[in-house]
Amino acid sequence: MIGLISAALGVAGCLLVGNLLPEPQELRQPLPHNLASSDRQLKTSMGALFGSNYVPGNRVETLVNGVQIFPSMLRAIREARQTISFETYIYWRGAIAEEFANALSIKSQEGLSVKVLLDWAGSLPMDERLIKRMQDAGVEVVRFRPVAWYTIDRVNNRTHRKLLIVDGRVGFTGGVGIADEWKGDARSPNEWRDNHYRVEGPAAAEFQAAFAEHWIEATGELLLGDRFFPEIGPAGDRATQVVISSNLQRNVMHLMLMTALAAAQKNIRIATPYFVPDELTRQQLLEARKRGVDIQIIVPGPQTDARIVRKASRHLWGELLQAGVKISEYQPTFFHCKLVIVDDIWTSVGSTNIDDRALRLNDEANINLFDQKFASTQMALFEKDAAASRPYSFSDWQNRSASEKVSDWVSSLARSQI
């Protein structure tokens, strides 16, 4: 009996260690600057390597803060005619959670197929009463990768995607979760700052495919037919690439980011709530600085939902700041935007942060555009956020107190998991 217990503990220990170890990465050194952002082959290569190709004919609308995001998502739900597919990491409680549950329930009662996929870990704070309400109305509500003995090897691989697909024709992605923290217009610490994106056109099919990949894993049901994948004509003039990471392509987001950073000729703009870059990402940024690339990064300031992340991040800033990378901390509220812009032409937005958890552990979803007009819109938002941020200098970093330096270092030891 003691032997069996010891063996069981040994297996459990191995699984725990396996989950906590950083994921392996394909790259062993920074990518060379072989393809520049101005080289047409870069778009061709990235389209072939990462996710879908660049699908033409889309309309992409930028939604700023909950005041724009939630009404647009709810309007799409209320206008749905056949199917609603909704996948999210965060669905908590409060007025907006109630509103979404009600809207989804009504559409299900009208006879639509309404499927809701909630990450098991991210939705733990959710009011279970809302789940029951939706299920009683016929909504298919499923928890993704619940913890059980047969899923323990994947307990560290969550879905962090934020996807809403309506009638297979309109898709939403970005950073927002379903919680009152995102309501409003970032006017106070109670109203978080975030962007979300509405995509109408052929790229919506790629969103639906991403949802279908997780739905079959969670339920065994394969989504087929024109209800979920209708023929879609052009809705706009944006060529859009949809990139997803999953069990089968765990490092695709990391490779995509390294490729984009290596292509930079003039400037790189990064906005992220969780900036805990691995060694390769830091080296890729430093290589860009050697080429004279101007780099600006916006991260959260004192208002944050994860103090340990802020401290772990700060521990890694020294060589970046010394090399001339400009890092600023957003002041008004918690900053949750996820945005990378290279040379005012290539933009990536979605659910992905700049840390190990996003780049190599979680399942994520982003959209990429080689589009100067779209990049210009995102740059204007970036500059507005930068104006509300406090620059953090190399002398600031050097002059941290001894206790701050120690606590920052200790926090950084957990950087592969936070």
Residue written as tokens 């620059």? 391
Q: 235-268: b or e for each residue (b if 16 or more CB lie within 10 Å)?
A: bbebbbbbbbbbeeebbbbbbbbbbbbbbbbebb
Query: What is the DSSP-derived secondary structure letter of residue 365?
Result: E
Distance CA 321, CA 2 (A): 55
290 counts as catalytic: no
CB 160 within 8 A of CB 122: yes
Catalytic residue among 160, 183, 214, 315: 160
Q: Which of 115, 162, 196, 315 is catalytic?
A: 162
Catalytic residue at 278? no
Of 183, 338, 356, 385, the catalytic one is: 338
- For helices 40-49 and 252-263, what crossing angle results, to 10°? 170
In order, the DSSP letters of 125-149 are: TS-HHHHHHHHHTT-EEEEES---T
Of 329, 303, 74, 96, the closest CA to residue 190 belongs to: 303
Structure tokens at 394: 């190399």
Active site residue 338: yes
Tell me which of 119, 194, 278, 343 is the catalytic residue: 343
- From the candidates 119, 167, 194, 385, give the one annotated as an active-site residue: 167
Q: Which two tokens stand for residue 349?
A: 């937005």
- Pairing of the two strands 294-300 and 267-271: parallel
Q: Are 389 and 330 in contact (CB under 8 A)?
A: yes
- Cα→Cα distances 137→18, 101, 223, 283, Å: 40, 10, 21, 52
Please list, residue by residue across 330-358, b when 16 or more beta carbons sit within 10 angstroms of its beta carbon and e when fewer do: bebbbbbbbbbbbbebbbbbbbbbbbbbb
Containing 296, the helix (H) or strand (E) segment is strand 294-300
Alpha-carbon distance of 418 to 397, in angstroms, equals: 21
Closest CA to 195 of 381, 27, 13: 381
Instruction: Please give the positions annotated as active site.
Output: 160, 162, 167, 336, 338, 343
